[in-house]
Amino acid sequence: MKYSRIGGTGSYLPEKVLLNSDLEKIVDTTDQWIRERTGIAQRHIAAEGETTADLAEAAARNALEAANLQANDVDLIIVATTTPDCVFPSVACLLQQRLGVTNSSPAFDVQAVCAGFAYALGIADNFVRAGTARCALVIGAETFSRILNWEDRNTCVLFGDGAGAVVITASDSPGIHSTHLHADGRYEELLHVPEGVSRGYDAVRQQQAFVQMKGSEVFRMAVSKLREVVDETLAANDLDKSELDWLVPHQANIRIIKATARKLDMSMDKVVLTVQDHGNTSAASIPLALDTAVRDGRIKRGDKLLLEGFGGGFTWGSALITY
Ligand code: COA
């Protein structure tokens, strides 16, 4: 079996919902501005004490159930996250423990911010193609609310918490046709959390340990890089854009998503849109959108999907999949 395919999907959103009208009471913003500029109507926020591993576990269990597989069938766990529970162990190792996977298979985290799920999927696909894994759990999970400055209206209205998961299994036919991963480290200043473990978190500088973003520059780069990666993906598979059934994009901003859809000549009813319900959940947003459209019956077996995402780093990536 030289390919990988998606065996099942799952997702989880924390119970607490924060509406745009709630944010109006915290920062100088309006429901109208947030909806018009981003498409977001609400986001979910993890409860006190609820961690990324909690969200990841719920999504992973959903995906395993959908794939009709048991925890010990899993021989690889990759969690894409920028907001892990602790410095170590990884969320993937915490998850392996919680799920009761005792077969000593590898488990690790990937940090590529909003492109994290595309990265994790690409890595898992390569493990399966190489014959070193047969059943991988690939998860995007974030508690981004913990790295937001709730006094900064430029960022705090955009993000939310959540998790999405897929089970990848070995297959005779694709499945995942190709993945395309990129990074350009020159743009650190446009989107970053400039503090961390090695730089230290002293009392004064701690005020900077939050997402900082130059929104309009990030917007322009996202649109341009996503256009490029979409072209690259179609060309690599000798596929015409008319052959795509669904665009499953990273859910950062409806205007970025619309720009990619226009590039693909896809009408918005062929685009899975969930940004209104959970905002930008970083690495979780692509699998959250995928799981939503699989469970509500829009995405069916045999459909051709284009997944894409762009995030801090900058990092960006895509995958072409027959579901
Ligand atoms: N409520 C009201 N006004 C706000 C606001 C908010 N929450 N946030 C910013 N504004 C203001 C700005 O201060 C600015 O005011 P000014 O003109 O008086 O300076 C004005 O709105 C316009 O800001 P601008 O940055 O030009 O708006 P925009 O059309 O670029 O939209 C973003 C802002 C952040 C929504 C948009 O740039 C974006 O989505 N960028 C990419 C974000 C992203 O995807 N990040 C993660 C990558 S995965």
pLDDT for residue 280: 98
Task: Report the distance separating Cα 189 and Cα 305, nearest Å.
Answer: 33
Of all residues in the chain, what percent carry a pLDDT higher than 90? Answer: 95
**How many CA within 13 A on the CB side of residue 238?**
0
Question: In the structure, what pLDDT confidence band is assigned to residue 203 with cuts at 50, 70 and 90?
Answer: low
- Ligand 1 geometric centre to CA of 157 (Å): 10
- Ligand 1 geometric centre to CA of 63 (Å): 35
Kindly give the pairing relationship between strand 16-19 and strand 176-183. Answer: unpaired
Residue with the nearest Cα to atom 41 of ligand 1? 219
Kindly give the pairing relationship between strand 135-143 and strand 161-171. Answer: antiparallel
Per-residue model confidence as pLDDT tens digits over 183-199: 999 999 999 999 888 88
Residue with the nearest Cα to atom 33 of ligand 1? 215
For ligand 1, pick from 154, 157, 190, 225 the residue to mutate: most ligand atoms within 8 Å of CB: 154
- Ligand 1 geometric centre to CA of 213 (Å): 9
Per the CATH hierarchy, to which homologous superfamily does domain 3-173 belong?
Thiolase/Chalcone synthase (3.40.47.10)
Question: In the structure, what pLDDT confidence band is assigned to residue 204 with cuts at 50, 70 and 90?
Answer: low
Please, what is the end-to-end C-alpha distance for the chain in angstroms?
17
Report whether pLDDT(48) > 80: yes
Q: Is the CB of 215 under 6 A from ligand 1?
A: yes
Mean pLDDT taken over the chain: 97
Report whether pLDDT(206) > 90: no
Strand, helix or coil for residue 145 = helix
3-state secondary structure 207-224: HHCCCEECHHHHHHHHHH
Residue with the nearest Cα to atom 15 of ligand 1? 154
Residue with the nearest Cα to atom 30 of ligand 1? 216
Report whether pLDDT(202) > 80: no
Whether 212 contacts 195, CB under 8 Å: no
What mean pLDDT is predicted for residues 115-139? 98
Per-residue model confidence as pLDDT tens digits over 260-305: 999 999 999 999 999 999 999 999 999 999 999 999 999 999 999 9
Number of H helices, E strands in the chain: 10, 13
Q: Which two tokens stand for residue 277?
A: 């319900």
Whether 212 contacts 147, CB under 8 Å: no
Beta bridge partners of 143: 161
Return residue ranges of the chain for CATH 3.40.47.10: 3-173, 178-322
Task: Report the distance separating Cα 278 and Cα 45, nearest Å.
Answer: 9
Q: What is the dihedral of CA 157, 273, 41, 59, to 10 degrees?
A: -70
Per the CATH hierarchy, to which homologous superfamily does domain 178-322 belong?
Thiolase/Chalcone synthase (3.40.47.10)
Provide the annotated active-site residues.
114, 250, 280
Beta bridge partners of 169: 5, 135
Q: Is the CB of 247 under 6 A from ligand 1?
A: no
pLDDT for residue 282: 98
Per-residue model confidence as pLDDT tens digits over 12-38: 999 999 999 999 999 999 999 999 999
